[in-house]
């Protein structure tokens, strides 16, 4: 008995993909360019050839689009009861495997015959427990790298399977919801693939390559988008340097270094851009330091969570890096910021700073010392650096970058000289070793330290 297959006619760029014989394919495509439909066509064809196909996307909405396309294409097979579809598992196979699929405890590796499976991969581990001959990773820019490098790649070992990565270059919006450690990992994979054409195929197409989109709408929509957004979302171009951004990637990259010994640094600050609610923006937490006329970014510990959660992280950073000060913005939450940190540890020195001028004005001096090649990044801080190099004055400033600016501004404003050793007390050791002094004596020691270094508690930043 034959099945009538109903597939859309692919456009030329989709056809280039569908005819490829490479083991690894990376597709960089614009919005509404037809990449999910293209993957659905590939999935149906490979399924009918007897292969196991696994499609993964970050969210269920994205999975549903793919599922709708493959279901429409194979509808005749369901009607003739040649094929079986399990909606809850997003699984299609032949009817002779129906009994196995209904087993809720089924290990899908038991299904040796052809199938199509669709899963979410917002968390890379949700892909575990399956195998594939063809692995299709859609919206790859939003997934964590482990979805391929740790979980996905071993799935293909059975039959030396193939993998496809589809993505649109990450915009400011998609970067904010990405699970990737490195927001540019998809672009970097594409560039790497270009170097190995014998095994990898790279395909690039734009929204304009989809003949089913309205030409009038495509021409009109660019009037509502920024130039950068058009280049990324419509033309699928990687915008490495955003026009108008204060920071340049080259200024960061050439100054990348290993972390210095903490004792070699003159002053260390934990910069904090607080978040008031657990479901709001991230709390920016960036550790910075000064050594003579040079500056270091030591760590980015930013996170999203309740005030108690980020306050705990701030205190851990203070002790972990033997910092001299915690510097936190007071515009957002005011005295609550110091109160919530003191709930965790009442002995840490906190400087609340008030933004009396705009973010652009505060950020410019920090960008300037980067341009002068006076700031070292002691490691790779992908998300922080992405925020820095894509922020344009006038846009809402991101939290990691704000935390960096607060910390660096404090270091610059102090003109710090190396501390005399006997004026500094390691409060962490006092606490951890259960030092037998009452709190008033410890607080008095901290007060003497503050007076000796002439640091005021409430300074208005310009």
C-alpha–C-alpha distance, residues 414 and 454, integer Å: 10
Give the Cα-Cα-Cα angle 323, 327, 333 (nearest 5 degrees): 140
For the chain, the structural domain boundaries read: 12-234, 249-461
Cβ within 8 Å of residue 88, ≥6 positions away: none
- Name which CATH class applies to 12-234: alpha beta
| DSSP three-state, residue 9 | coil
pLDDT in tens, 393-444: 888 878 999 999 999 999 998 864 444 333 344 544 444 444 344 445 545 5
Beta strands in 95-157 (DSSP E): 115-120, 134-137
Give pLDDT, residue 397.
78
Quickly tell me which residue has 């310009």 as its tokens: 462
- The arithmetic mean of pLDDT across residues 450-461, rounded, is 41
Of the candidates 278, 266, 362, which has an alpha carbon nearest to the alpha carbon of residue 323? 266
Cβ within 8 Å of residue 304, ≥6 positions away: 275, 278, 280, 281, 282, 283
pLDDT in tens, 300-311: 999 988 999 999
Quickly tell me which residue has 């009861």 as its tokens: 81
What burial class does residue 451 get, using C-beta atoms within 10 Å of its C-beta: 0-12 exposed, 13-18 middle, 19+ buried?
A: exposed
C-alpha–C-alpha distance, residues 287 and 408, integer Å: 9
Render the burial of 208-243: b for 16+ CB within 10 Å, e for the rest.
Answer: ebbeebeeeebeebeeeebebbbbbbbbbbebeebe
pLDDT in tens, 233-275: 899 888 777 778 899 989 999 999 999 999 999 999 999 998 8
DSSP type of residue 214: -
Yes or no: domain 249-461 corresponds to CATH 3.30.420.280 = yes
Quickly tell me which residue has 């004055």 as its tokens: 393
pLDDT in tens, 7-23: 999 999 999 999 999 99
The tokens describing 61, both together, are 């909405």
Q: Tell me the whole-structure pTM to 2 decimals.
A: 0.64
C-alpha–C-alpha distance, residues 308 and 257, integer Å: 33
C-alpha–C-alpha distance, residues 317 and 285, integer Å: 9
Give pLDDT, residue 428.
47
Q: Residue 68 above 70 pLDDT?
A: yes
């Amino acid at each position: 008995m034959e099945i009538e297959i109903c597939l859309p006619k692919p456009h030329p760029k989709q056809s280039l993909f569908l005819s490829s014989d490479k083991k690894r394919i990376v597709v960089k495509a614009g919005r509404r360019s037809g990449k999910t439909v293209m993957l659905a066509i590939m999935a149906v064809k490979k399924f009918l050839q007897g292969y196991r196909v696994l499609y993964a996307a970050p969210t269920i909405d994205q999975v549903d689009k793919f599922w709708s396309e493959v279901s429409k294409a194979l509808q005749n097979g369901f009607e003739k009861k040649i094929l079986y579809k399990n909606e809850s598992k997003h699984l299609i196979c032949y009817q002779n495997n129906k009994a196995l699929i209904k087993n809720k405890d089924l290990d899908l590796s038991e299904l040796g015959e052809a199938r199509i499976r669709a899963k979410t991969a917002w968390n890379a581990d949700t892909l575990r427990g399956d195998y594939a001959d063809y692995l299709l990773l859609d919206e790859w820019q939003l997934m964590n790298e482990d979805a391929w490098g740790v979980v996905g790649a071993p799935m293909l070992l059975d039959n030396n399977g193939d993998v496809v990565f589809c993505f649109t270059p990450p915009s400011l919006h998609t970067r904010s919801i990405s699970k990737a450690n490195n927001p540019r990992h998809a672009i970097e994979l594409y560039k790497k693939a270009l170097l190995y054409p014998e095994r990898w195929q790279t395909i690039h197409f734009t929204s304009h390559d989809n003949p089913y989109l309205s030409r009038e709408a495509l021409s009109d929509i660019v009037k509502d988008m920024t130039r950068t957004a058009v280049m990324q979302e419509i033309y699928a171009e990687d915008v490495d340097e955003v026009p108008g951004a204060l920071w340049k990637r080259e200024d960061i990259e050439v100054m990348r270094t290993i972390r210095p010994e903490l004792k070699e640094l003159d002053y260390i600050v934990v910069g904090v851009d607080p978040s008031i609610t657990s479901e709001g923006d991230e709390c920016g937490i960036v550790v910075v330091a000064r050594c003579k006329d040079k500056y270091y970014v030591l760590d980015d510990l930013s996170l999203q969570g309740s005030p108690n959660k980020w306050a705990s992280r701030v205190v851990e950073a203070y002790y972990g890096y033997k910092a001299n000060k915690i510097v936190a913005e007071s515009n957002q939450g005011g005295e609550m910021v110091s109160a919530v940190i003191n709930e965790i540890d009442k002995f840490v020195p906190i400087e609340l700073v008030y933004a009396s001028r705009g973010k652009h004005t505060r950020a410019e001096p920090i960008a300037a010392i980067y341009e002068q090649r006076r700031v070292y990044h002691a490691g790779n801080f992908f998300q922080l650096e992405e925020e820095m190099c894509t922020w344009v004055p006038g846009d809402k400033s991101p939290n990691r970058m704000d935390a960096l600016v607060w910390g660096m501004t404090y270091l610059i404003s102090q003109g710090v000289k190396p501390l005399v050793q006997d004026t500094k007390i390691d409060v962490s050791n006092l606490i951890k070793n259960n030092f037998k002094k009452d709190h008033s004596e410890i607080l008095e020691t901290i007060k003497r330290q503050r007076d000796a270094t002439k640091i005021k508690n409430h300074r208005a930043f310009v």
